[in-house]
Structure 1
């Protein structure tokens, strides 16, 4: 394992990897701003452009607010640590198991986000799963799948079942566990997890009112699903991402270091 001062990292990686590090660090910083972090747990990974099988992941033990471009760890899908700038932190095994499964099987996926948010965990514990109650939830009606809980994700043989359950979809609820999204890039992945989180929050709020729920007609749900497909109008997240970065830079631009 390589261990070094984080000041040296930019000189040791390609320009493509450095840009990927900045973008991923930004995503980490955004998550707690919208209530989607869980102390030092959970993970966001991104593929390094032009470097087959290499991905970036957070150092286990750092808060999301502490993530910077320089302190991310480079690993491959086999679990080998290729670059670790941190003296005292390593990779969380559960993070490796879940994320390497998706990146290894889905070459169209550039970023994977997994959360244990309160609303996400609540919906994951509901037999009905995510319901098409809101426009936000209907976005996922055609791309949602589920994976049954098997305990903390530390066994490598679970990867095959994770991948099988995800299939070609880009959103998965890990039952009794949390949420997972996969996307071609970081901006689209953040947009997916943000909307998925909002959909879960709205559902829990509506169900807690103890009154009859109103469901749109199936034809309306189907049309909404179509309109939110990336190929129908636009890939959601790309247009929004510069605004997210501007918001971060106004508050704290240290993620870029």
Structure 2
């Protein structure tokens, strides 16, 4: 993965030209923020860009933003891995190289605010990038909540389901964003039920700190499986809601390995928003 990051700018070893393949069937086309001015620049991230299991969700995010009138664009092949997990595994030189490339790419764009759907990206852009000028950076849960409060995002099909929410490490404990995702969940009509370990006591999904690139040996129970057991023990909860692409991947696997794929459904925040529109 680290070799791929140095060579291709992504951990998947894919051509930068394939980074935005998920946009191909979206109409109207997603704007290229390197060519035209936008209000919001969406820093998509590697997992949401390249992981085949996430391409539908990534496209859905773009289409929801378009539907509610958000003026946004992406950098297409100009984006590189943000480097958060690279730094966590001690590859400081590689992190600096990726950060420098991304900063140069962002400097060629005209935008007001950066939005991210990946808390890992959010953390490193917000706290670790040596930007020459102050940057406005939002996690998409914050943007969705802002749109709801402004009356731009209205729900005509309230969801009648019980849901629980998993706090991503880099959104919650690292950056203190606990309320925005919960307010969005409640706004869609869901009955939110908290797990015993939530907010600053929430468990890691097991992907952070570069562990998503590591091969796992034999283990009695993975962190993601423990978390699913915790959610499944709640009364009549239908949805396990996440707000991180790595969480989506980890928990989609975990509901299968724990035997809960038919009674506990992994949903991204944007899934709820799309269902309730």
Give the TM-score, by structure 2 length.
0.30
